[in-house]
Amino acid sequence: MKQAIIFDLDGVIVCTDEYHYLAWKQVADSEGIYFDREINERLRGVSRIESLEIILERAAKSYTDEEKLKLADKKNIIYRESLTKLTPEDILPGVIDLLDELKNRSIKAAIGSSSKNTQFILQRIGLMNRFDSIADGNGITKSKPDPEVFLLAARLLKIDPQECAVVEDAYAGIDAAKAAGCKAIAVGSAQNYKKADYSADDISKLGIEELIS
């Protein structure tokens, strides 16, 4: 039986995909760069700077590192402003019930997210105190598919990664979970990924036994 479940944040606990898209769209439009929802799919599970690099593939000019940082910061300002709209009602179906069940079984729960806004989001939706550890973009140097964030989450829990299961909605996240030695549970956009150990439409469709076995 697994001793801990590590959850990605966006797309698993709460969905801020639209806020991300609209923020990147505003930045891209301001630079005259074509950006659409299909391109946006490539940004799932990767860091802010890596997302920007994908967007800049269609830029008509080259950008200095300083200019890239300014664009990334601009996106984050727009995004964080939109996050103030989040409330506990934005928590995805099944999340609270699953967290309650894990607590009842004395199984630890953690967050493993590349986002530097993780704690702000958790505060907005009222879940800041529901996790035993939080590993996010502020504590890592490599984003998914590198396993660093999940290894950090396991280390903070003081549990071997092989005793953890990861719930993810992105291919890069599933790759990171497998690289960390964790069981990989795919939901949402990643549910058809063959590398996952188990899949479901969303958390509400996950059985506790499939998670912890």
Catalytic positions are 8, 10
Residue 152: name the closest of 172, 137, 131, 130 by CA.
137
Q: Is 128 exposed, middle or buried (0-12, 13-18, 19+ CB in 10 A)?
A: middle
135: left (phi over 0), alpha (psi -120 to 50) or beta: beta
d(C-alpha 146, C-alpha 34), whole Å: 28
Residue 184 CA from chain centroid, whole number:
14
